[in-house]
Chains A and B, each alone.
Chain A
Amino acid sequence: MKQRLVVIGNGMAGARTVEEILSRGGEFDITMFGDEPYGNYNRIMLSNVLAGIEDESGIFLNDLSWYAENGITLHTGVRIERIDRHARMVYGSDGSATGYDKLIIATGSSAFVPPIKGAHVPGRGYHQGVFVFRTLDDTRAMIRYAREHERAVVIGGGLLGLEAARGLQNHLGHVTLVHAAGHLMNAQLNVQAGKTLQATVEQKLGIEVVVDGMTTEILGKHAVTGVKLGDGRIIDCDVVVMAAGIRPNSAVAADSGLVVERGIVVDDRMRAVDEDDIYVVGECAQHRDQVYGLVAPLWEQARVLADQITGTDPGAAYHGSQVATKLKVAGVDVASMGLRGPESADDELIEFAEPKRGIYKNVVIRDGRLVGATLIGDNGKATALIKAFEKGLPLPANRSELLFDLGGPAAEENVAEMPDDEQVCNCNGVSKGALKSCVDGGCKTVSGVMDATRAGKGCGTCKPLVQRIVEWAAGGAVEEDPAASYYVPGVPMPKSELMAAIRQYELKSVSAVFGKLGGDEDAKSKMGLASLLKMMWGASYVDERDARFINDRVHGNIQRDGTFSVVPQMKGGVTTPSDLKRIAEVAERHGVPMVKLTGGQRIDLLGIPKEKLPQIWAELDMPSGYAYAKSFRTVKTCVGSDFCRFGVGDSTALGIALEERYQGVEGPGKMKLAVTGCPRNCAEAYVKDLGVVAIDGGKWEIYVGGAAGAHVRKGDLLTTVGSADEVITLTGRFLQYYRESANWLERTYAWVPRVGIDRIRAVVVDDSDGIAADLDARMDETVAAYVDPWKERAEPATPGQFRTSLPLTVLPQVPVRA
């Protein structure tokens, strides 16, 4: 027989917990009691209902059919008045008695009403015109009343009060916000942030704000006529909204003998103290002296509770939440987390204020970790700061990067305001609406959504936007994908750890890595592992051909019709009449469908069937240009000093020398280089993975981390050197450092800013870590091991290596036997 589970409370915490239990296949007979006469709705959205942005119907999370479909008995409008822990019964306001085996208390909280004279009328509840702002019914009553009146006072300048004030403006002409403390949102913000918020609220929204205002009395005989403050001031009004905070609903628990302090005290398993079968979740729970009033901790608690009650994970524990919030408070962007300001002399405070635009930002750093941050008026950096705060990530040496996007892309779009049909992923045609429905369908990780929709799986430029949309759609319930930090999804380790394990166990093939470290092999991880192992072991790497992507198996770039492109090497973009003739003859002889110049100054023969590749290579008799691999690609050059009247350095010769030396070197991503003979930059060296610019006086500047593809970035100046030889050496050392440090498919435009140009310069140019000689030696080994893959043509490396996979040509038909 199924166990009986009773849930007291049908709010966000109760319903979410039940959803978590159902998703774990929990087998219970579930009965839920809700004080309010509705299904379950998103209380956070009441501000939007008040502001007229959202319709009431849009805020319901689970309608009544959800309860029926999941076999849940729901009693709405019934308040549980007593719990008998010994008899395992709960008693309702309707006279009902219900037995349980397991009990969840999710009673939430109520509006806190300070003891102000005149707030209540004896025997009649609130004075006419006085409201709290907590439930859907409160909101409806407030809207109805406000529409027929003119001036409102909101008591309480916290989050809720600001939202109430903003919403009321929608229904009447004049709103005053009265706050007892010295600045708005004093629980989350420091004085300056609070003042900045106040200025915006007053000037942009037209809400009058009174701080240091203790309300002592509500005036009016039959209906409200005004409020009186402690200093004697009287503010005329006909509507009063109390938004002075919330208090946990713990009376039932206390009356029933549970341990209650500010809230109902729970342990790390979300169980009430000394109770094996009573769990508590949400705003009514007090965990390690903390009571939370935000939604994110509630989601975490619900997961732990569900893991425990279903026995899915008996080790699950709630350790408390780092509370970080990113909100629009009354139309103003506000993000806050951790400390409001420095608390000791060693704490670093980085602060920026631009009062005219209503912007204030600060971060507080302790021992190199972010321990607090506030953003007012500009939430652009909020997601990054929250991540750094929650995970304790290392911070950039240039602290101002925490507050600003320096030289980065333009300001982020507001995802909430994007239309549903707006295309987010322009490679795979995925709209914001498609991402949202994927999240609504239960997919709560960024990588899961990307896998399911293909969004962000093309050029990858939209990944940050996809991430923000998923976070927005999940309403703060986005789940961390542990695989995000792995080098490849199939082996649960970041790159440095993986490399250490590969060395320790001497794993020289991809199958050996899976066997020792990853369990089941994973198709999507093979290519990254093959690249890494080849880099690490060089000649002793055990090359399993199935670990290669098709491009690397047949040394050409696969095209949309299954044919391949053939790009012969053309060092520095310099060719000869005889080479051109040979390419032309081969193209003509084989009827090559398209001959095209590439962006990397080479010639591309497109539309070559797989089975013809060896023959074409043989007839060309030129080395591969590697226009298909995650490897060193080309060095684009200008005509340099030989012919150009502006050239100050022989860029062509240097480009050819670089390509000669580093041809075919594989890495985590493509490496595109350029050398240009003067700062006019005709070879576009500023936007290459590594670009070299000749400057007057026989010197060369080396730029790294540039890009001009899906992502555009000007490279950072690594250093300036006095000779071509130094350029060649530093290029090799930089590329080797990149190969060893960057994540799989992480191009230099992402890796350089992640590691920081200062750090890279220290390692590569100044040899701060003493590893320059080792990097050089390992690059020398790689260079020495270079073999032109197009020599692999006389004898296929595997059976059927070049056999067609599509009906491009007629295959030998296999006789059919009946």
Chain B
Amino acid sequence: MRTSVILGSLHDIPLGEGRTFAVDGAMIAVFRLRDGSLRALSAVCPHKGGPLADGQIDLKQVVCPLHLNAWDLTTGCSLSGQPPVTVYPVRVDNDSIILDV
């Protein structure tokens, strides 16, 4: 069964950056892309546990700050030979960030 969660205001996340949210025990990194859209991924880098929300992003990928492994923001697939990360559907409603888990 799918549930929707309001994570907070869109303005909690600066343009082009990511922030981490705790949802029901899980850590989820939400990114606000420069085209205005959002992406949500599992927040912990599967390589060595790095904080993905602290990584740099573009419209396609996030780069983990620890060892510069990269993941596709839309599919969660690694672009550098690492295991994939979970992606979550995320959207904006009236400036609120809504996550489906």
Binding between chains A and B: yes
B54 in contact with A814 (CB, 8 Å): no
| Given A558-B65, A814-B8; A804-B20 close (CB under 8 Å) | yes
> Interface size on A (CB < 8 Å)?
44
Query: CB within 8 A of B29: which of A511, A527, A547, A805?
Result: A805
The proximity string for B residues 10-53 relative to A, scoring 1 for CB distances below 8 Å and 0 otherwise, is: 01111111111111100101000010000000011000111111
Q: In whole Å, how far is A257's beta carbon from the nearest beta carbon of chain B?
A: 52
B59 in the interface (beta carbon within 8 A):
yes
Fill in one digit per residue for B73-92: 1 if any A CB lies within 8 Å of its CB, else 0. 00000011100000000000
Q: Tell me, in angstroms, the Cα distance from A806 to B56 when the chains sit together.
A: 16
Answer yes or no: A817 CB below 8 A from chain B CBs: yes
**Least distance between B46 CB and chain A CB atoms (Å):** 14
Would you give the shortest CB distance from A804 to chain B, in whole angstroms? 7
Contacts of B14 in A (CB 8 A): 545-546, 798-800
| Residue pair A546, B15 in contact (C-beta under 8 Å) | yes
CB atoms of B20 and A805 under 8 A apart: yes
* Closest residue of A by beta carbon distance from B65: A550
With A806-B27, A817-B4 known to touch, is A558 a contact of B16 (CB < 8 Å)? no
Closest Cβ–Cβ distance, residue A555 to chain B (whole Å): 13
In the complex, which residue of chain A has the Cβ closest to the Cβ of B53? A805
Q: Is B3 among interface residues, defined by CB-CB distance under 8 A?
A: yes
Write the nearest CB–CB distance from A214 to chain B, whole angstroms: 59
B54 to chain A, nearest CB (A): 4
With A454-B67, A523-B62, A806-B27 known as contacts, the answer to whether A799 contacts B53 (CB < 8 A) is no
Known: A520-B59, A521-B34. A547 touches B16 (CB 8 A): yes
List residues 480-527 of chain A with CB under 8 A from any CB of chain B.
Answer: 490, 511, 520-524, 526-527
Q: Are B20 and A546 closer than 8 Å at their CB atoms?
A: no
Cβ of A357 under 8 Å from chain B: no
By the criterion CB–CB under 8 Å, are A452 and B56 in contact? no
Q: Which of B6, B18, B67, B70 contacts A428 (CB 8 A)?
A: B67
1/0 contact trace for A785-817 toward B, CB 8 Å? 000000000000011100111110011111111
CA of A524 to CA of B81, assembled, Å? 17
User: Is A345 positioned at the interface, with any CB of B under 8 Å from its CB?
Assistant: no
In contact, B43 and A805 (Cβ under 8 angstroms): yes
Q: From the candidates B56, B67, B70, name the one contacting A546 in the complex (CB within 8 A).
A: B56
In the bound assembly, the distance between CA atoms of A380 and B48 in angstroms comes to 38
Most buried by B among A428, A457, A806, A818: A806
Picked from A451, A523, A547, A814, the residue with its CB within 8 Å of the CB of B22 is A814
Is there a chain B Cβ closer than 8 Å to A54's Cβ?
Answer: no
User: In the complex, what residues of A have CB within 8 A of residue B4's CB?
Assistant: 817
Q: Is the CB of A806 within 8 A of B57?
A: no
Q: State the Cβ distance, B2 to closest chain A Cβ, in Å.
A: 10
Contact of A522 among B53, B54, B58, B65 (CB under 8 A): B58
Q: Which residues of B contact A550 (CB under 8 A)?
A: 54-56, 65
Check B24 against A816 for contact (C-beta < 8 Å): yes
- B59–chain A nearest beta-carbon distance, Å: 6
Q: A523-B61, A523-B70 are in contact. Are A816 and B50 (CB under 8 A)?
A: no
Cα distance, A688 to B18, chains bound together (Å): 37
- With A and B bound together, what is the CA distance between A814 and B5 in angstroms? 8
B54, B56, B81: the one contacting A453 at CB < 8 Å is B81
Chain A residues contacting B70 (CB-CB under 8 Å) are: 523-524
* CB proximity of B101 to chain A, nearest CB, Å: 8
B58 to chain A: closest CB distance in Å?
4
A817 touches B5 (CB 8 A): yes
Q: Do A454 and B49 have beta carbons less than 8 Å apart?
A: no
Chain A residues with CB under 8 A of B19: 800, 803, 805
Q: Is A356 an interface residue (CB 8 A)?
A: no
Which residues of chain B are near A453, meaning CB under 8 Å? 81
Interface residues of B (CB under 8 A from A): 1, 3-8, 11-24, 27, 29, 34, 43-44, 48-63, 65-70, 79-81, 101
Question: 10 closest Cβ contacts across the A-B interface?
Answer: A546-B16, A805-B51, A811-B22, A798-B14, A805-B53, A550-B54, A523-B58, A521-B58, A562-B51, A523-B56
5 A-B interface contacts by CB (under 8 A): A457-B68, A524-B68, A526-B58, A798-B14, A800-B12
Q: A798-B14, A799-B11, A813-B22 are in contact. List 12 more A-B contacts (CB 8 A).
A: A451-B79, A523-B58, A546-B14, A546-B16, A546-B57, A550-B54, A560-B66, A800-B12, A805-B18, A805-B43, A806-B51, A814-B21
